Structure 1
Amino acid sequence: MAYRLPSMVWLRAFEAAARHTSFTAAAEELGLTQAAISHQVRSLEKQLGYPLFERLPRHLKLTEMGRAYLTPVRKAFDELSASTTGLFGPAGETVLNIRVPVSFGVLWLAPRLPEFCRAYPNIRLRLHSVVWADDLPADRIDIDIRYGHGSWAGFRSELLFRVPSVPVSPIGSHVSRPADIQEENLILIMGLEDYWLRLFERTGLEMPTHRQLVTVDTSMAALELVEAGMGHTIVLRCFAERFIAAKRAQRSFDMELPQDNAHYFLFREDEKALKPEVRLFRDWIMEEAASA
């Protein structure tokens, strides 16, 4: 089969110029002159028959066709780079170190990972599950997933998803409204202890103080205690779904608590360009998160 492909040199110049929005910066990265990068991009535009950039006084701006073309070009480079490293690299594989909160890793990410591994068998994943984000040095991590406000020193962040929290009860519990839980045992999660207070305040009820309160450090542990009949908890809806679908727990009642915090994809600020395997994982997890 004959492929109508432009020069890889031209495509590389286009991708670098698009990433930096500058021929000069692209030239510095690739070790060429600014004139050489400009010539290569013009050659590409001539072959394609479309302008890819608007040449503005101080920077470049992708045209609509340029934006559309950049996505498959970048993905092709990423997959080619990852495959080359995987097949011919010294270790025969690319290793991606991912730090995730325990509950996110077990309840949300793990069920979805087989799809990524089938698509990119040459990328070996190392998942580092942590309760607190600083449990592992940042220099050992390629990707960081965190739950919070979206701003962390030394990192750039991209929103994965924001979902509400829901109350969850043991199977067979006879509760249908917040007042029914006032006389029950409540399970709190460290750092998220205000969930129950907010729920009761929204319904004009007092936070019970005479019932047994159990505090755990993860949503996963809270759900396990609910399954054991220990009491009721409030967790993010995306965490509760697996337990509810497996009939290991049930929704207490039809009520959701909106959350300001969210899950974010983080990478270090000092990385000028993401490694190909990091970009592949980011693109994949963003697609998954869009349906969360």
Structure 2
Amino acid sequence: MTGRLPSLNWLRVFEAAARTESFARAAQQLHMSPAAVSQQVKSLEERLGAPLFVRKAHSVALTDAGRAYLAPVQQSLMTLEEATEGLFGQSREQGLYVQCVLIFAHGVLAPGLQGFEAAHPGLSVVLSTGNSAQDFQQGFFDLKIIFGNPHAYGAESDRIMGEWLYPAATPEVAARITQASDLLNWPLIEVGTHRSGWRQMLESLRVMPGAGRMVFADSTVMAMAMAKAGRGIALARAPASDAEMQGAGLVPCLGDARVRGSQAYHLVYEDLSALRPPARKFRDWLLGWVRAQGWD
């Protein structure tokens, strides 16, 4: 097999046949003859050098290779459809595709999106969330809101805001922390993917970081859930985590003790001059709305 990709028509036929488990039903959906569906699937199998279906009398079943191939094919076709509709669609309601870090979507975007859409009738924000770098490499999106290094996600970006870190726990635990060294009596829940964390917090409080017992979470949302369950003390990351913290019933420890984080949230895109009009409107709104809240 050479590096050239299979025909898009072959992939569409393969997906329909796999989904319906029938060449005849796939033919009906695609307005083709069953013989044409069978021939295109055969051409794809020859191109790939492996059988994708087990042929039965009145149906077909995916082979192991076909089952493994189906998911990326469906994802690719969906991405192409989203990109086509997002860029060229003529529907009455225009979609704006935004991918966002979960904690930012929950704590920052959710309170403001209704106002944005009310001010721009006919424009609907299609929002999806993620946390890992891999999450942000899939699908079509006009804009991405990420935390950390923006250059890893796109060519151009705007800084949206930073964060403030402070210890947060259940009211029962927080009441027992009267001085910084008391923090070491509980496990400290760390989000390992963040550059700023407990070490920076403890150093600012003049407590030896090495004395702390660390447990790890993959996100601030999970860290808050663990603190709510009594697993230890989390680090709030204000203001993005405010809503999550309130929902978990957590309160600050040590009054107003806090430290400035070293990373920030960024709005990422490939080319400002090439942004579609809905994306430009969203960019202007988001940057202005965050400033109006007094967040930086």
State the TM-score, normalized to the length of structure 2.
0.62
Distance 1:259 1:244 in 2: 17
Evaluate the alpha carbon distance shift between residue 244 and residue 188 of structure 1 in structure 2; reply closer, same or farther with a 3 A threshold: closer
Which amino acid in the other structure matches residue 289 of structure 1? V
Question: Which consecutive segments of 4 or more residues in structure 1 shift more than 6 A?
Answer: none
Deviation at 1:278, TM superposition (A): 0.5
In structure 1, the partner of 2:111 is: 111
Query: CA 1:278–1:252 in structure 2 vs 1: closer, same or farther (change >3 Å)?
Result: same
Distance in 2, Cα, partners of 1:241 & 1:227: 14
1:172 aligns with 2:172: yes
Distance across 2 between alignment mates of 1:241 and 1:210: 25
What SS does structure 2 have at the residue aligned with 1:140?
coil
1:219 equivalent in structure 2? 220
**Residue type of the partner of 1:286?**
L
Task: Note if contact 1:97-1:125 (Cα within 8 Å) is conserved in structure 2.
Answer: yes
Give 1:100 shift.
0.5
* Structure 1: gaps of 5 or more residues: 1-84
Q: In structure 1, the residue corresponding to 2:242 is in which secondary structure?
A: helix
Say if 1:289 and 1:130 are closer, same or farther in 2 by CA, change over 3 A. Answer: same
Contact 1:133 1:146 in 2 (8 A): no
Number of the residue aligned with 2:275:
274
Give SS of 2:209's match.
coil
Q: CA deviation at 1:130?
A: 0.8
Q: Report the alpha carbon displacement of residue 111 of structure 1 after superposing the two structures with TM.
A: 2.1
Instruction: Name which of structure 1's ranges 107-116 and 129-138 shifts more when overlaid on structure 2.
Output: 129-138
- Native 8 Å contact 1:149 1:260 kept in 2: no
Q: Which amino acid aligns with 2:283?
A: R
Listed one character per residue, the Cα deviations across residues 220-277 of structure 1 (whole Å, up to 9, x for unaligned) are: 11112222222111131113422455571101122111122111111113x6332110
How do 1:243-258 and structure 2 match up within 5 A?
A: 243=244, 245=246, 248-253=249-254, 254-258=256-260
Contact 1:244 1:251 in 2 (8 A): no
Q: Any conservation in 1 of the 2:148–2:264 contact (CA below 8 Å)? A: yes
Take 1:154 and 1:245, find their aligned partners in 2: how far apart are those partners? 33
Q: Percent identity?
A: 21
Q: Please give the secondary structure, in 2, of the residue aligned with 1:236.
A: strand
Q: How does 1:30-179 map to 2 (within 5 A)?
A: 90-137=90-137, 140-152=140-152, 154-173=154-173, 174-179=176-181
Aligned position for 2:14:
none
Decide whether aligned partners of structure 1 residues 282 and 206 sit closer, same or farther in structure 2, where only a CA change above 3 A counts: same
Residues 258 and 194 (structure 1), Cα distance of their counterparts in 2 relative to 1, 3 Å cut: closer
- The equivalent residue for 2:238 is 237
SS in 1 for 2:273: coil
The 1:132–1:169 alpha-carbon spacing in structure 2 relative to 1, beyond 3 Å, is same
Matched residues in 1 for 2:106 and 2:153: separation?
Answer: 26
CA 1:214–1:153 in 2, change beyond 3 Å: closer, same or farther? closer
CA RMSD in angstroms comes to 2.5
Seen in structure 2, the aligned counterparts of structure 1 residues 143 and 189 have a Cα distance that, compared at 3 Å, is same
- SS at structure 2 position matched to 1:215: strand
Contact 2:100 2:128 in 1 (8 A): yes
Q: Secondary structure at the match of 2:145?
A: strand
SS of residue in 2 equivalent to 1:205? coil
* Cα distance in 1, alignment partners of residues 264 and 195 from structure 2: 16
Which position in structure 1 is the counterpart of 2:189? 187
For structure 1, which segment, 193-202 or 100-109, has the greater mean C-alpha deviation from structure 2 after superposition?
193-202
CA distance in 2, matches of 1:160, 1:193: 18
> In the aligned structure 1, how far is the partner of 2:123 from the partner of 2:227?
37
Q: 1:285 to 1:153 in 2, by over 3 A?
A: closer
Q: Secondary structure at the match of 2:269?
A: strand
**Partner secondary structure for residue 97 of structure 1:** strand
CA distance in 2, matches of 1:194, 1:277: 34
Instruction: Report the alpha carbon displacement of residue 97 of structure 1 after superposing the two structures with TM.
Output: 0.9
Shift of 1:170: 1.2
C-alpha distance 210-255 of structure 1, shift in aligned 2 (>3 A): closer
Provide the residue aligned with 1:198 in structure 2. Answer: 200
Amino acid at match of 1:287: G
* Count of paired positions: 204
Q: Match of 2:66?
A: none
CA 1:141–1:233: 2 relative to 1, 3 Å: same
